[in-house]
Structure 1
Amino acid sequence: MVPFRPVERVRPEGDPSLLLLCDHALAAVPPEIDLGVPPAEMARHIAYDIGARGVTLALSDAFEAPAILSGFSRLVIDPNRAEDDPTLIMRLYDGAVIEGNRRIDAAERDRRIAAYHRPYHAAIDAAIDAALADGIEPRLISIHSFTPQLRGRAPRPWHVSVLWDRDDRIAGPLIERLRAEDELVVGDNEPYTGRLEGDCMWRHGTLRGLPHALIEIRNDLIADAAGQAAWAALLARCLSDALDLDAPAEDIKERR
């Protein structure tokens, strides 16, 4: 059994000009927590961003760039929320009741923040600080995935979307480049908005004045290794063109 760890660091010595993030990489739950959620529910998008970890790792390989990924389920605590956000620890999500979260008290909330949420963000801050100390302004790219349809809601038509707030240095050219792809439906702040005060990109990008963007991929397109490799290659091409990056996109293979 793989030991639980709140943060996964990949290529820490990689090119610091690009930092890849994955807030919802795994559905892992630390052994001291019982969420009371059946395995079938933990396999759904409510527990993690399906396929996002594989895409992030493939992009890290392509650009030889560092990546920081969360090691815990978003149902334990959501690292893409501020510490005071009411949705930081979800009790109900897309029709599923999270029994282990229904009655947690302030002490347990604070413990989860200290044990899981803060170490993830501290790792991001450390990587950014190290790059800046070397005179390099890192560009932040966060990889997420979204479900094709929430229960009781309309189907979502987008294949991919770029979320952003005030800074379009990455989002603008990236959206334009993605829309140049044939038959690709590209969202702009859809199905979610990037204008969420306190989220990961706000904390590490907006507040620090660093160029950043969050990429959302529809999860049925990256549910297996082949889809993850294909989308990583597509994103590598588009990011290379939009940001003038050097990436051997053609060398991306399925991760075994």
Structure 2
Amino acid sequence: MIELLLVGIGTGNPEHLTLQAIRALNSADLILIPRKGPDKDDLAGLRRAICAEVVTNPAVTLAEFDLPVRDETIADYRRRVDHWHDAIARVWAGTIAAHPGARRAALLVWGDPSLYDSTLRIAARLSPAPKITVIPGITSLQALTAAHAIPVNEIGAPFTVTTGRRLRDEGFPPGVDTCAVMLDGECSFRALPMEGLHIWWGAYVGMTEQITLSGPLPGVAAKIVETRAEARARHGWIMDIYILRRGT
């Protein structure tokens, strides 16, 4: 049976790796490196750089593969994602099969495999099923609160972690005063009544390219939209996250 190591690597900063993650990578026979096309080669490059810095076992093989593109012609969002995940699982299986001697394969997972990441769902599609070992990592939410030096919640108060899509379609989550928003490619905070909301926003958090902005949402919303667009154009990709809080 193949063992599949899902290793959380934080946000691309090698210093985010835990000792457990470094040991796991060095114990692997095979490390899978996804390529997302020339516009996002930085992402593969960061994984290569992490391996170059922390992998000291000469027996470890790096195997790169092209990540399938999501078929945007499929109208239903859930079916579109499921179709994409099926395709990714097939590529994983083919890449591992091309190295028949490998008994332990590792994937470097941006952030952590447990929070708004589909690696575990894709791994569950593999047949025969591998043994799955998860190595937790620093999440973008942790990196964001550290960058702004804030706690994620008020004393004794709950908070919600949601997506940009749901914030846009459903509004501010009910029953809480704080929400963290991930996977928002459209700056969906613009769809909310802004008065009384404070935002802490960050892109590339934890990396040398880190950008942070914060303040009352009516005063900084336009600046965030502008800054985000400029950063994405400059790098060819962007990963950002933000926290919204009422009454601050």
Q: TM (normalized to structure 2)?
A: 0.31
Specify which structure has the higher proportion of strand: 2
TM-score (norm 1): 0.31
Q: Larger Rg: 1 or 2?
A: 2
